[in-house]
Structure 1
Amino acid sequence: MQWEELLSLRRQGDRNKRLRKEQEETRLGFEVDYDRIIFSSSFRSLQDKTQVIPLSKTDFVHTRLTHSMEVSVVGRSLGRIVGIKILEKHPYLQEVHGYRFNDFGAIVAAAALAHDIGNPPFGHSGEKAIGAFFKTGEGKKYKTMLTAKEYQDLTDFEGNANGFKILTESREGVQGGLRLSYATLGAFTKYPKESLPKKPTKHIADKKFGFFQSEKEFFEEVASELNLRRTRNGGDVSYARHPLAFLVEAADDICYTIIDFEDGINLGLIDEEYALEYLIKLVKDRINTGKYGELKTKEDRISYLRALAINTLIEEAARVFIENEEAILKGEFSTSLLDKCRYMAQVNDIIKLSIEKIYKSEEVTEKEIAGYAIVEKLLGVFCKAALHRFFGEETHYDNLVLQLIPEKYLHGFRSEYQCLLGVSCFVASLTDGRVVGIYNKVNGGQIG
């Protein structure tokens, strides 16, 4: 893979090539990507979607919105640091094509800003609930209507693939979704493969999938423009990652490792003294003991250590990327950047404690159980109604419940797969609060 192709400014529908040296510096194309994402309704909905604690009413806890903005900030720093080194190593990128180090930061920042845009309500349990509905629940009966890959899209419903759909899906009057640059779409796609075969290798890019069958053709167009390396022959679509996707992943890993941990401390799920010991192990060589000793509140002490920890991991992730750039460009680097960093043991200790004390806490577990029930009920009602309409068999009740779904999720279906995926994507679009409200309407009761 070549950087001058990977940094493509092309957008869906372009007829002419966009050259970096012809870009308006005050309104750079990669920065336009960021603006389009942040002004989108899908991004705004993240303000009421779970990061750690579903339906939390405290001011401490991060939402997907605040988490995404923080990941974007970290991603921008990572991209700029790497960009400086890449341009030093490949000066023709600047001398011939006009690229600047800020371009790398802008691409990673935009992709990182959007990295959770397709996540369902209730966090990752929302993904699992959608998948379980089709794999073992009422939705299993639809399997015979679908191809193997279409069915796998639903049984392993993936927020990353839904995100790609949101960013790129055309509808009447809106071609190409947000029309982001192909460089940003490439950096966004951490798993550049379709849903089958499932986990064919231990390569990090094969861990999940990055696009539904409905977006397969367009993803191949993006991959072709970026000249991503194809990793599988025959009828199965799979590519090596865009190199900057490793930086987007690292930014997310850094933020959820450190900031989810901080949330757990502020919520009282992790004892302060115990937690500070873990953070100090990560940043012990960087602590200004005089300054740290002057901090009087728990929040200030945690904030200081959190900032040091994030900066430490940013520098380390950038180092690993630069040292492995050649293998990354060949598609041969097979792990996350943090898995190769000097602080992997300390990071894993923090994650292990977070799993035990936060993600498996009673509050999280109770809300996730409620989330499963809500998602299962809504999918049952809406899938049945959508298919009834598709076959021209809808009842009055079907028409009533379908009024709750925006037309863009129900328009122009040409197959049973599109019906079922459209309903699933609608449920995935709902915020934590909104999904409870719709459940109450459909169920005729209250859940809080």
Structure 2
Amino acid sequence: MHWEQLLSLKRQGDTAKRLRKDQDDTRLGFEVDYDRIIFSAAFRSLQDKTQVIPLSKTDFVHNRLTHSLEVSVVGRSLGRLVGKQVLEKHGYLKELGYQMNDFGAIVAAAALAHDIGNPPFGHSGEKAIGEYFKTGNGLRFKAQLSDKEWQDLIDFEGNANGFSVLATSREGIEGSLRISYATLGAFMKYPKESLPKKPTSKICDKKYGFFQQDKAFFTDVAQELGLIANKSGDDIGYERHPLAYLVEAADDICYTIIDFEDGINLGLIQEEFALEYLIKLVKNGIDTNKYHQLTTKEDRISYLRALAIGSLINDAVKVFMDNEEAILNGDFPYSLMDKSQYIAQMKDIINISIKNVYQCREVVQKEVIGYKIINTLLDKFCTAYHNTIDGKASNYDTIVLKLLPERFLHPKEKVYDQLLHICHFVSLLTDGKALQTYNIIEGNPN
């Protein structure tokens, strides 16, 4: 892979090549990506979507929006630090007009959008959608779908849904947000289709990154960027865009450290444990005099958190640059943090978060509620939508469909498109809106 191609400013529908040296630096194309994402309805909905604690009313617990903003900030730093070294190593890029901040802007935009396709109620929401088709009433549609279409549904994936949010055309809106191909490439952590599932142990094959409905445009983006194909026959898959490693690292750093911090603030993790684990990450950079002057738990944890994130950023940049050639050749099958010098410390922190936070009673109880809500919404809306298109709608089906937003009322011919259309609608609901719609359907006044 070649950096000039990987940094493509092309957008869906372009007929002429966009050159970096011709860009207006006061309104750089990669920064336009960031603006379009942050002003989108799908991004705004993240303010009421679960990060760790579903339906949490606690003001200091992160939601998907605050998490995404923080991942974007970390991603921008990673991009700039890598960009500076890449430009020093590949001087021709400077002659083409590329700057250090271009790398930061691409990674920041892709990181901002990294959770934009996640359904309500966190990762349990993805599983709930898949379970509806795998073991629930949605199983009745299996015979009408291809194997790959079916796999899209039973293994519903927030990353693939995010690609749809950013790129899928709909009536009157060509190319959705029309994000640059470079940013789309950095966004695509898993540049493959849903089957074959986990064909290798490579990080790029861990999950999938696009639905069958988006296959043609995904392939266009991958080929424009010069990504390396790693599948044959009828299967589609590519090695990662190099900057996708930085987006993933930003997410890994933030959820490791900040979910841990949320657990501390919720009282689920004792401060003495937190101090012990975090100090292992920052022992080479801590100012002990400053630390001992901090009198509150919140200030002590914040100080250690900032130092920890800084240590992990610098380490991720080193891993990237040490392996840049292998990454460009498609020969780096790991995440950056898998090769971090702090991998043992990160695993310790993640393990205590799993035990004390992710599996705490409050999370489990609300995940159960989320499963019930999503299952009910999918069943009612899939049934009503499918029956209406087939000309078999009951009066109840007609009433239910009136709850759909206007942009989801357009008919789809293929059963796969119908089902994915409703999954997309449900996935874009906030936690609160999903609960409200469920209560309406179930006849609960409150």
Mark yes or no: TM-score above 0.5. Answer: yes
Contact 1:192 1:210 in 2 (8 A): yes
2: CA distance, partners of 1:18 / 1:134: 43
1: CA distance, partners of 2:136 / 2:414: 21
1: CA distance, partners of 2:160 / 2:368: 24
Following superposition, the deviation at residue 145 of structure 1 comes to 1.0
User: Which residue is equivalent to 2:366?
Assistant: 367
Indicate how the Cα distance of structure 1 residues 161 and 257 shifts in structure 2: closer, same or farther if over 3 A, else same.
same
2: CA distance, partners of 1:332 / 1:400: 54
1: CA distance, partners of 2:404 / 2:272: 48
User: Which residue is equivalent to 2:51?
Assistant: 51
2: CA distance, partners of 1:413 / 1:224: 29
1: CA distance, partners of 2:207 / 2:155: 9
2: CA distance, partners of 1:399 / 1:319: 58
Deviations 1:29-83 (A, max 9, x none): 0000000000001000000000010000111100100000000000000000000
Q: Which amino acid aligns with 1:230?
A: A
User: Which residue is equivalent to 1:442?
Assistant: 441
- Is 1:107 the counterpart of 2:103? The answer is no
1: CA distance, partners of 2:268 / 2:67: 19
Q: Which amino acid aligns with 1:51?
A: Q
Following superposition, the deviation at residue 409 of structure 1 comes to 2.7
Q: Which runs of 5+ in 1 are unaligned?
A: none
Contact 2:192 2:236 in 1 (8 A): yes
Contact 1:410 1:422 in 2 (8 A): no
Map 1:219-368; keep pairs closer than 5 Å. 219-368=218-367
Q: Which runs of 5+ in 2 are unaligned?
A: none
Decide which moves more: 391-400 or 350-359.
Answer: 391-400
Map 1:365-444; keep pairs closer than 5 Å. 365-444=364-443
User: Which residue is equivalent to 1:79?
Assistant: 79
Following superposition, the deviation at residue 137 of structure 1 comes to 1.0
2: CA distance, partners of 1:182 / 1:332: 22
Contact 1:410 1:419 in 2 (8 A): no
Contact 2:389 2:411 in 1 (8 A): no
Following superposition, the deviation at residue 335 of structure 1 comes to 0.8
2: CA distance, partners of 1:289 / 1:409: 57
TM-score by length of 1: 0.99
User: Which residue is equivalent to 2:92?
Assistant: 92
TM-score by length of 2: 0.99
2: CA distance, partners of 1:267 / 1:375: 27
Following superposition, the deviation at residue 446 of structure 1 comes to 6.1
User: Which residue is equivalent to 2:190?
Assistant: 191
Deviations 1:219-241 (A, max 9, x none): 00101110110001110000010
Following superposition, the deviation at residue 408 of structure 1 comes to 2.4
Deviations 1:119-145 (A, max 9, x none): 000000000000001001111111011
Map 1:31-46; keep pairs closer than 5 Å. 31-46=31-46
Map 1:119-130; keep pairs closer than 5 Å. 119-130=118-129
1: CA distance, partners of 2:445 / 2:261: 33
Deviations 1:319-365 (A, max 9, x none): 00000001101111011100101000000000000000000000000
Map 1:154-193; keep pairs closer than 5 Å. 154-193=153-192
Q: Which amino acid aligns with 1:313?
A: L
Deviations 1:418-445 (A, max 9, x none): 1100111111111000000000000112
Following superposition, the deviation at residue 368 of structure 1 comes to 0.1
Following superposition, the deviation at residue 182 of structure 1 comes to 0.2
2: CA distance, partners of 1:258 / 1:353: 11
2: CA distance, partners of 1:103 / 1:411: 38
User: Which residue is equivalent to 1:67?
Assistant: 67
2: CA distance, partners of 1:166 / 1:399: 27
Contact 1:119 1:428 in 2 (8 A): yes
2: CA distance, partners of 1:404 / 1:283: 51
Q: Which amino acid aligns with 1:26?
A: T
Deviations 1:145-200 (A, max 9, x none): 11000000000000000000010111222110000000000000100000000000
Following superposition, the deviation at residue 407 of structure 1 comes to 3.1
Following superposition, the deviation at residue 403 of structure 1 comes to 1.2
1: CA distance, partners of 2:285 / 2:208: 38
2: CA distance, partners of 1:406 / 1:418: 17
Size of the aligned set, in residue pairs, is 446
What is the percentage of aligned positions where both structures have the same residue? 67
Q: Which amino acid aligns with 1:331?
A: G
1: CA distance, partners of 2:41 / 2:379: 26
Q: Which amino acid aligns with 1:269?
A: L
SS in 1 for 2:18: coil
Contact 1:72 1:109 in 2 (8 A): yes
| Runs of 4+ with deviation above 3 angstroms | none
